[in-house]
Structure 1
Amino acid sequence: MPECSVVSRSWSELTTSELYAVLKLRTDVFFVEQKVDEEELDNRDQEPGTRHHWIADSSGTVAYLRVLVNDEPEHLDARHIIGRVVVRADRRGEGLAQQLMAVALKEFTGAPMLLHAQQYVAPLYAKFGFVAFGEPYDEATIMHISMYRAASTAVNG
């Protein structure tokens, strides 16, 4: 898997071009490709604690994820939530999501984390120490499973 440069920024550090590229990728995949009809712009992107991580090429953003920080734990002791993990169709299978996960987990070393995985992608997150809990559920017509990663889990990616 070739290494690509991961960019990490908070909301206040994003340029308008970076924001546009990230939102274009998210809408191209979630709305156009996957037909998700849930609210994409949920105001969580703008929160001071939110971290945006992405990889870009000459055509734009190719992979993205964000890490949210909740005031209260959503499950057990997990206040950090990984979400909006997305890879452009023409770049899937290159390990880009794994690179983003490794960077995000390194940035929040020691923090217990949670994510809501599309069920078919759960094995990717298991590589990083995430363990599924609860029953699968339908979110935006796509089956998901909640996954938790304890604070002491090492990054394997």
Structure 2
Amino acid sequence: MKLKIKTKHFSELNIKQLYDLLQLRSEVFVVEQDCVYQDIDGKDEQAIHVLGYKDQKLVAYTRIFKPGDYFKESSIGRVVVSEKERKYKYGYEIMKASINVVKEEYNKESIIISAQTYLKTFYNNLGFLEVGEEYLEDGIPHIKMKKD
């Protein structure tokens, strides 16, 4: 089943959508990955939110920033898929939709991400290449990756 993708600026999110995206991010990044960090970082208001629904349930999500808001280039972050839905490859679907949003909204091809290192191959398959060395972000190994 293909995801139904919705793209929203922060001001367009309704309370249910905001609650669902924060719940999904917390479910994966805080609980599943056992990482205590400040997910609600004050940057959601600047972002475009890409929401992936399966049967009216939010199962995949990213947020996108224009050049200069997070990195010098456009960026995609908080890439997340519900654990029980990963077998359907929704990560690829939500990322391809997000890459398209960057092209449509900002007319940019170059995208930077801060990827969890164990997902390098996933991002390589989407055209991202490693830039620099690994680093720790909230105690989890990450690497900067770029797509041109």
The separation in 2 between residues aligned to 1:132 and 1:143, in whole angstroms, is 13
Aligned residue type for 1:55: G
Q: CA RMSD in A?
A: 1.7
Q: Residues 35, 73 of structure 1: CA spacing in aligned structure 2 closer, same or farther, 3 A cutoff? A: closer
Deviations 1:25-73 (A, max 9, x none): 00111111112222111111111xx211111235732111111124378
Larger relative helix fraction: 2
Could you tell me whether the CA contact under 8 Å between 1:44 and 1:68 is conserved in 2?
Answer: no
> Is there any run of 5+ residues in structure 2 with no aligned partner, and where?
none
**Given the alignment, which residue of 104, 113, 125 partners 1:127?**
125
Correspondence for 1:153: none
Q: Map 1:99-110; keep pairs closer than 5 Å.
A: 99-109=93-103, 110=108
Q: Does the alignment pair 1:53 with 2:47?
A: no
TM-score normalized by the length of structure 2: 0.89
What's 2:143 paired with? Answer: 145
- The TM-score with structure 1 as length reference comes to 0.84
Does residue 114 (structure 1) correspond to residue 112 (structure 2)? The answer is yes
Counterpart in the other structure of 1:90: 84
CA distance in 2, matches of 1:120, 1:56: 25
Matched, 1:30 2:29: yes
Structure 2 counterpart of 1:138, which letter? Answer: L
Moved over 4 A (4+): none
- How many residues of Structure 1 are paired with residues of Structure 2 in the alignment? 144
Instruction: Give the secondary-structure state (helix, strand or coil) at the position aligned to 1:123.
Output: helix
- Percent identity over the alignment is 29
Q: Which residue of 1 aligns with 2:13?
A: 14
Q: Secondary structure at the match of 1:108?
A: helix
- Measure the CA separation in 2 of the matches of 1:72 and 1:32: 28
The offset of 1:119, in angstroms, is 0.8
Q: Check 1:62–1:16 CA distance in 2 against 1; reply closer, same or farther (3 A cut).
A: same
Is 1:65–2:65 an aligned residue pair? no
